[in-house]
Structure 1
Amino acid sequence: MKISRIAVASLLALAACGTADTPSTPAPGANGALTPIKLQLQWFYQAQFAGYIAAADQGFYKEQGLDVQLLEGGVDIVPQTVLAQGKADYAVAWVPKALASREQGAGITDVGQIFARSGTYQVAWKDSGIRTAADLKGKKVGNWGFGNEFELFAGMTKAGIDPGKDVTLVQQQFDMQALLKKEIDAAQAMSYNEYAQLLEAKNPATGKLYTADDFSILDWKTEGSSMLQDAVWANTEKLSDPAYQQQTVKFLTATIKGWAFCRDNAEKCRDLVVAKGSKLGKSHQLWQMNEVNKLVWPAPGGVGVVDETAWKQTVDISLTTKNQTGDTVLKKAPEGLAYTNDYIKQAIDKAKADGVDVNGTSFQPATVTLTEGGA
């Protein structure tokens, strides 16, 4: 998921907006009625959000007394802003961007770190000689900007490269055309989305689709500069309300069930996402479901639990890594209740009591065959 210039402007408006007044939260399922909940997603419907889609479709939210409405994201929507303004009850957002919003006044808390791993790559042609971050020196390096570039910049800095002097930075569109046309040497890509677009493209020299052997990947998890991404964020002020606390546990319990369902039923969840209106094809969505599952599972500490080491690395990079303009994601360490594992641990216990495998220790990714254009 990326963030647009419009979205950045919206994010920067947070300081002026503040946090909207919100009514007290009714107890979930009180008097047999379902409690309406709005979850703001951070991008268009795709398998990146399959666990939430499945939890709604399979009735897991209703089991918890909740009627959850999924709000589709887009180029001009900043989910943490929507949450902070009281227009949603929860939101899905990358940790660095949400922390930047908190620094600007958004009262939000990470209550469920669903993606335990980063899915960001930098991809180059195999014959480029680019194998590590150090190999980017002197190259044309694409990136999306808008806060998506800090893993790349941290990786280069760690390798002794000055991102402002030692590479030629190119503003990359949200696709892989610049790499395919060899206008840049390395392109930013999500493992579950843009990288698949390369493997769905036809090699004009052979008439066949490109394969993984045609490319080299810089995986920021391997390079040691990865940052936490998709998390469930809640309204910090409302977390002082016992009813909202109870609602949050119920919401997370059902969400855990949704992600476990998609781990065990990848093709079914692919179909749910396509039926939801995704613009991407079936093979692309199955690839995405498989890759997203790798970011969630296995979850040794339980799905959604914030790992303190990964959190610290994300914060350290946010504080110290500069982009080409010299800006960092954060100017100071997060204050207040930036995250809590209290509610996700309660949800894990409830899901386990219902027979859900919350660790996914035996998870094994599938081999997905892509078709041209991801159809």
Structure 2
Amino acid sequence: MLRSISFLVGCVIVAGCGSSDSSTNTTPVAVADAQALKPVAVQLNWFPESEHGGLYQAAADQTFLSHGMNVEIRPGGRQSPVAPELVLGRGQFAMANADDVVLFRNQGADIVAVLAAMQNHPRCILVREDSGVKRFEDLAGKTLQRQGGRAFLEFMRSKGLLDQVKEVPYHGSVSALVTDPDVAIQAYSFAEPLLAEQQGVKVRKLMLSELGWNPYSSVLITTGDMVRNQPELVQDFVDATRAGWQHYLSDPQLGNEAILKANQHGMTIEALQFGHQELKTLALPEGMSSKSIGQMTDERWHTLVSQMVELGLVDGDKVRADDCYTMQFLK
């Protein structure tokens, strides 16, 4: 069963300004304030990690509370029901990647992106430094561990970069890379490189963003119905989440502590610290101010949809780029 983390108890304690024992803190003021909070559920697309740091930071430092919300963060996993949770009304928001949004809409789900925390995608192909691979073209003759059906693979395939590569399933471990210099693995730049280097193997990251595949990552999504009928709630949540990301990238301590409590799958403070440093470069490319966190552009979305149509991943008659996102809440 997936674990979830709710911050209502902490909100009641703060509102009551009384004993730290929440079981006895039931003053009328505390109860009234707690009942006045708007309940909001957000579904993660993976186990809690640094890529969700802005959400956990906003909960831990009471930014959500200050915006009048009691937020439940629901951890995900390998089969996270992201779009169904929103479409069925079991949650108001979720996390995804931009290409997921395009696929959701192609499947008929009215999913809309309202914020993009990561300007550059962390997807990479990870190789050993002693593998001789310095660019994507050098993967010829190597074995690539990957999860089939991913859009980035089709992009690589369209460039002829997998023509001479043996593709095998990826099971979420760096062990094959560690033991064999002829093995490459799919990875996120803020996670797997640390795991490999902790086992004494120096690695090189081939970033898909530099190849031209660069969907927004750590994207906050909701439904078109929420955008149309509850714009005030969407605005409050976007504002609080943006502030959470600003706080997390500045000082991740509270957010990391909350992630460690929520992640029961071997997460460590070292991994979160490594991830935080990497995410700073992904969320704030050179020249970008922290005040601009979350911003999106028409050009990026139109480019992504065009790429996915050209790759045959979506039907251009079903998916319009302008329907995939809105920037009305990014003041």
Tell me whether the two structures share a fold, i.e. TM-score over 0.5: yes
1:53 is matched with 56
SS in 2 for 1:344: coil
Provide closer, same or farther for how the CA distance between residues 31 and 141 of structure 1 changes in structure 2, counting only shifts above 3 A: closer
Q: Which amino acid aligns with 1:332?
A: G
Alignment of 1:150-161 (within 5 A): 150-155=151-156, 157-158=158-159, 160-161=160-161
Matches within 5 A, 1:8-47: 33-47=36-50
Contact 2:126 2:206 in 1 (8 A): yes
Q: 1:170 aligns with which of 163, 168, 171?
A: 168
Are 1:295 and 2:282 matched, yes or no? yes
Aligned counterparts of 1:197 and 1:271: Cα–Cα separation in 2: 20
Match of 2:187 in 1: 189
Can you list the C-alpha shifts for 1:299-331, whole angstroms capped at 9, x where unaligned? 45821121233323322332223xxxxxx4322
Whether 1:285 and 2:272 are equivalent positions in the alignment is yes
- 2:106 is the counterpart of 1:108: no
Aligned partner of 2:15 in structure 1 is none
Take 2:83 and 2:44, find their aligned partners in 1: how far apart are those partners? 9
1:252 aligned onto 2:238: yes
1:331 and 2:315 matched: yes
Work out which of the residue numbers 184, 204, 218 in structure 2 matches 1:216. Answer: 204
SS in 2 for 1:114: strand
Say how many residue pairs are matched.
Answer: 294
SS in structure 1 of the partner of residue 117 of structure 2: coil
- 1:95 is displaced (CA, Å) by 1.4
Q: 1:171 to 1:277 in 2, by over 3 A?
A: closer
Code of the residue aligned with 2:267 in structure 1: it is L
* Equivalent residues of 2:197, 2:203 under 8 A apart: no
Are the structure 2 counterparts of residues 217 and 32 from structure 1 closer, same or farther at C-alpha, using a change threshold of 3 Å? closer
Taking only the aligned residue pairs, the percentage that are identical comes to 20
What one-letter code is carried by the residue in structure 1 that aligns with 2:316? K
**What SS does the aligned partner of 2:213 have?**
coil
Over the aligned positions, Cα root-mean-square deviation in angstroms equals 2.4
Deviations 1:100-122 (A, max 9, x none): 11111111111111211100111
Cα shift readout 1:64-121 (whole Å, capped 9, x = no counterpart): 1111111111122231221122111011111112211111111111111121110011
Structure 2: where are the runs of 5+ without partners? 1-31
Alignment of 1:67-216 (within 5 A): 67-147=70-150, 150-155=151-156, 157-158=158-159, 160-161=160-161, 163=162, 165-182=163-180, 184-201=182-199, 209-210=200-201, 214-216=202-204
When residues 183 and 171 of structure 1 are mapped into structure 2, their CA distance, relative to the original with a 3 A threshold, is farther
Q: Distance in 2 between matches of 1:233 and 1:307?
A: 16
Larger mean CA deviation between 245-254 and 294-303 belongs to 294-303
Aligned to 1:340: 326
1: CA distance, partners of 2:84 / 2:106: 12
Segments of 4+ in structure 1 off by > 6 A? 29-32
CA contact (8 A) 1:37 1:69 kept: yes
Amino acid at match of 1:286: Q
Query: Could you tell me how far apart the structure 2 residues matched to 1:98 and 1:253 are?
Result: 21
CA contact 1:80–1:92 (8 Å) conserved in 2: no
Give the deviation of 1:173 after TM superposition: 1.1
* Alignment deviations for residues 6-46 of structure 1 (CA, whole Å, 9 cap, x no partner): xxxxxxxxxxxxxxxxxxxxxxx999811100011111122
**Equivalent of 1:316, from 270, 289, 306?**
306
User: In the superposition, relative to structure 1, how do residues 81 and 31 fare at CA in structure 2: closer, same or farther (>3 Å)?
Assistant: closer
Query: Which residue in the other structure is 1:307 paired with?
Result: 297
Q: SS in structure 2 opposite 1:48? A: helix
Residue type at the aligned position of 2:236 = K
What is the one-letter code of the residue matched to 1:294? T
- Paired with 1:157 and 1:90, the residues of 2 have a C-alpha distance of 33
Aligned AA (1:306) = M
Cα distance in 2, alignment partners of residues 316 and 83 from structure 1: 25
